[in-house]
Structure 1
């Protein structure tokens, strides 16, 4: 009874779907006919002449096969889809009433009648069984006769009533399905193979009638009955060859239909039915001993629907749409998922090669497509995309640990190189995506675990650094390729994607090398590493004119300076060596890097934006001099243990540094240097007059004041001696 109710529901869905598709077909006919009318009017419109000499169009001007629209309204203006009518409200209401009457009198009546026939047959069988009116064989034969009569009437009616005939034929098919089900499952007249053959025959008749009537709903109904057959005729045994052979016949029929008809709904229905049948069998009966059977039929079904999704383009030369793309993706995903579930437990080491071979299939299909139309380009890029995704998946399946990162980086570079030939935004997008995966794997996995040095003690030749070397080479190579072809990139790629790749390369370098220092070196190497990387990144950012990368460089220099001041200023007195110590080395490296970058900023300042020229260049100069003065001051403090000598030495050193800075400002025509020198002299004056006077002995006061006085007098002399030049510098700046 459940199957009986299911068939009733299917019939109702068939009728509803038939009406919807018929409406769409009628609307399409209206549209095309209106286009033909407009074209015909444009070709046959008579020329405008004077009234005194009217010209009658000659018969030759009228096409021989021109339809005569004055005698009878064409079929596409039937009341089923009457176009909008202009007129009085009463006329419009009359038209609407006629349309409603037609729908109630034809479509609704036909649909309800078809359902009533099926229900009546079911009740007839029930009544015949309960009262033994006719024997079992007669019931089945009578069902076949009624079905044949309905299909015969449908064939006769379709010529005059094209929407009525397919419904009757579909009803007859339903009666045949029900009769076969009763013959096998209720009365056991036929064996399962015979019932299968009968169901195949009924389905084939349905598809043939659908092609004859050009009726997609009838084809959908027939195919649905075909896929319900395994459930209606199931004997509870595991017979994969019989089951999948039958399903393959149905799918091949869909492939044949796709050659002649653009019935994509039929393809989707068959794909869903095949996937459900296969999934149910796999969940109930599959064992590892049946891997060859399961994989073989999965491959067969995949190949059939791959051809179905491509036949419209290659054979019918139709444009591919979302349904074709969806079928390509879902078919590939389900096949790969089934293959992984079947093969991975048995042949894990070969799964990576299997995935690569699967990707090569799509690459081959993409290369076959030579058509330069928009549809061909989309399909080609879609096939490339599926192949690339499969390659990305193949990497973690085939490799382990750091080899995954290296393989992804190599794939990203290969895609960037492939773009030289294809010039495809899609290919570049996948290259970006692969490098994003690579970046996060480097940051999260490959650099966070302690990696011991190699047996010979080479800490910079361990697996982490081995991975980083390859990632850096491939990522830098891809950036160079894309930069070389930057004119071919889209605007968003120039402003976002390419700078982000540069930042990823820069950030990964900082992160991995910092992890090396954390594991194997002292902390004073942190600011040295950061400042050197920042200087290198700064030169690159100026060359490629990337503000995004320069901002990362500025932040790195700030981090280096803060680390120096907070963590590297103090040294262990027991291990202290004047000047030649870790602190001086770290400060000197950072100062040199900042000074070199400040020089590059001044040299290529036309690349900078206004805010950078006004802020970053002066701040870089001040930072380098501040760190230099800080380092010298810390050395003075650690060298001189006596407070009087230490304070006096600081005053003297600051004063001499100020005069050197002032001289450099005059020579280099730098107002920032000159003003910095004056500000530093002010600090020295404040220190000498307020602090040194109260805390130093008389001799040290004498030295501080004399030194300060001489320097200030020299400063005043220089400003007076070179007054004109300094004024000229100021005006020039």
Structure 2
């Protein structure tokens, strides 16, 4: 027998067998929504109580007749009713009862497939409904807590929501046979739901650089989870979070004004923010080594390594600029003239960074990294001759030239040794 489609043609009997129960299941909820819109229901218990009866009937039919779609229809219909009442009648002064209903509905849909695990072990739709129940109810619960219970620790709300998803993930790992074809999707759904709530903790509870740090750490965690649960969605979301974290630090000028310049150089918030995100990019690139490196058909490992290196180079320049800035400045600015020590710090740091790239490129035999190091070293030498030396006294010119020359000579020595070894190996 062929499996019907909800949005297929009505002329197909298989589609009709799915569409008719699904459409019929929505009718009682539509009536409840109409009642909610027409009557001043300050107490949602009458309509929500009837909704519970309808939901239990739908879930029972889903189990008895193997109509998995009914659980999803029940969740969607219940959410429509809840949001209709909440947006039209919710009063923060009477928040306890609606909060209990919202949590109860979310718990009902989440627990349902676990109660009949044997029947649903090889299916996907009931587990998708269970995994999505909490995220789709989150706004309702969060809005109640935000307006009625302003505790100042709203980050606890997504933290608490993450617990059932994590527990569900553990239960599935223990009870679902490893050979089950639906296990990967089930784990990805509950793992994704848990990480969704963990992601929300940072923007809700924290601000500024902590949001970026949270997303970078989660992106690396998703790439690690992809090793345990090889679902492509985990890899895609993890990579996207890391790219967003990079963009927030590298392409957002406002980040340099998050905090006034402190009296502590180097060991400051720039170091841990940019440093941790760069490490997350490198770790994720390592985790997504072949054959796990393709995201949407693209090789993401070089991208992550490149973004990590760019962020490390940006951190190097930020620390130099911060070191030579006055304490208490509202924002950080980059200046490349007027201060001999600062100008030479940039040049020497760039040369050392280029040397480090060259060593990595030689050790890992990665040609683009070697070319990048030579390009950066060339830019450093041009800066030294065209900018730095023209503004220095005779003694300082000699000292600056000697330092950069030593680095350049050492780099050329390494490159010649590498070319010699490569030629011997090719012969």
Question: TM-score when scaled to structure 2?
Answer: 0.77
| Contact 1:255 1:304 (8 Å CA) reproduced | no
SS in 1 for 2:182: helix
CA distance in 2, matches of 1:215, 1:600: 69
Cα displacement (A) at 1:228: 1.0
Corresponding position of 1:20: 10
1:467 matched to 2:281? The reply is no
Cα pair distance change 1:265/1:383, threshold 3 Å: closer
CA distance in 1, matches of 2:370, 2:76: 54
Equivalence map 1:141-180=2 (5 Å): none
Cα pair distance change 1:397/1:314, threshold 3 Å: farther
| Contact 1:453 1:461 (8 Å CA) reproduced | no
Equivalence map 1:489-638=2 (5 Å): 489-490=292-293, 496-521=299-324, 522-571=342-391, 576-578=393-395, 581=396, 583-605=397-419
| Contact 2:350 2:380 (8 Å CA) reproduced | yes
Which one of 247, 268, 272 corresponds to residue 76 of structure 2?
272
Corresponding position of 1:482: 287
RMSD value, Cα: 3.8
CA distance in 1, matches of 2:32, 2:282: 59
CA distance in 1, matches of 2:398, 2:226: 49
Cα displacement (A) at 1:508: 0.9
Cα displacement (A) at 1:25: 7.5
* Larger Rg, first or second structure (1 or 2): 1
Cα pair distance change 1:558/1:292, threshold 3 Å: farther
Corresponding position of 2:164: 361
| Contact 1:223 1:250 (8 Å CA) reproduced | no
SS in 1 for 2:357: helix
Equivalence map 1:281-292=2 (5 Å): 281-292=85-96
Cα pair distance change 1:552/1:237, threshold 3 Å: same
| Contact 1:415 1:431 (8 Å CA) reproduced | yes
Corresponding position of 1:449: 257
CA distance in 1, matches of 2:238, 2:421: 29
Cα displacement (A) at 1:593: 2.7
Cα displacement (A) at 1:335: 0.9
Question: Residues 178-203 of structure 1, C-alpha deviation per residue, up to 9 Å, x if partnerless?
Answer: xxxxxxxxxxxxxxxxxxxxxxxxxx
Equivalence map 1:675-690=2 (5 Å): none
Cα displacement (A) at 1:517: 2.6
1:435 matched to 2:242? The reply is yes
Cα displacement (A) at 1:419: 5.3
Cα displacement (A) at 1:487: 5.6
Which one of 230, 238, 260 corresponds to residue 64 of structure 2?
260
| Contact 1:329 1:386 (8 Å CA) reproduced | yes
Cα displacement (A) at 1:305: 2.8
CA distance in 2, matches of 1:608, 1:291: 72
Cα displacement (A) at 1:244: 1.0
Cα displacement (A) at 1:389: 2.7
Corresponding position of 1:403: 210
Cα displacement (A) at 1:224: 1.0
> How many residues get paired?
394
Cα displacement (A) at 1:534: 1.4
SS in 2 for 1:461: coil
CA distance in 1, matches of 2:274, 2:52: 50
Corresponding position of 1:350: 153
Cα displacement (A) at 1:220: 4.2
CA distance in 2, matches of 1:593, 1:495: 36
Cα displacement (A) at 1:428: 4.3
Which segment drifts farther, 511-520 or 424-433? 424-433
Question: Residues 208-230 of structure 1, C-alpha deviation per residue, up to 9 Å, x if partnerless?
Answer: xxxxxx99736743651454156
Consecutive unaligned residues in structure 1, runs of 5 or more? 1-16, 27-213, 614-731
Question: Residues 146-173 of structure 1, C-alpha deviation per residue, up to 9 Å, x if partnerless?
Answer: xxxxxxxxxxxxxxxxxxxxxxxxxxxx
Question: Residues 674-694 of structure 1, C-alpha deviation per residue, up to 9 Å, x if partnerless?
Answer: xxxxxxxxxxxxxxxxxxxxx
| Contact 2:348 2:404 (8 Å CA) reproduced | yes
CA distance in 2, matches of 1:477, 1:543: 18
Q: Which has the higher helix share?
A: 1
Cα displacement (A) at 1:440: 2.1
Cα pair distance change 1:548/1:374, threshold 3 Å: farther
CA distance in 2, matches of 1:607, 1:289: 77
CA distance in 2, matches of 1:284, 1:492: 43
Cα displacement (A) at 1:332: 3.9
CA distance in 2, matches of 1:493, 1:270: 33
Q: Which has the higher contact order (CA 8 A, sep 6+)?
A: 2
CA distance in 2, matches of 1:524, 1:468: 23
Equivalence map 1:204-223=2 (5 Å): 217=20, 220-221=23-24
SS in 1 for 2:60: helix
Cα pair distance change 1:568/1:494, threshold 3 Å: farther
| Contact 2:48 2:101 (8 Å CA) reproduced | yes
Question: TM-score when scaled to structure 1?
Answer: 0.47
Cα displacement (A) at 1:256: 1.4
CA distance in 2, matches of 1:230, 1:261: 27
Question: Residues 325-376 of structure 1, C-alpha deviation per residue, up to 9 Å, x if partnerless?
Answer: 4x45753442112222222343463332221232232222222223222211
Corresponding position of 1:656: none
1:389 matched to 2:191? The reply is no
Corresponding position of 1:243: 47
Cα pair distance change 1:551/1:277, threshold 3 Å: same
Corresponding position of 2:119: 315
Cα pair distance change 1:277/1:324, threshold 3 Å: same
| Contact 2:293 2:300 (8 Å CA) reproduced | no
SS in 1 for 2:66: coil
Corresponding position of 1:620: none
Corresponding position of 2:336: none
Corresponding position of 2:329: none
CA distance in 1, matches of 2:25, 2:208: 52
Cα pair distance change 1:222/1:358, threshold 3 Å: closer
CA distance in 2, matches of 1:446, 1:509: 19
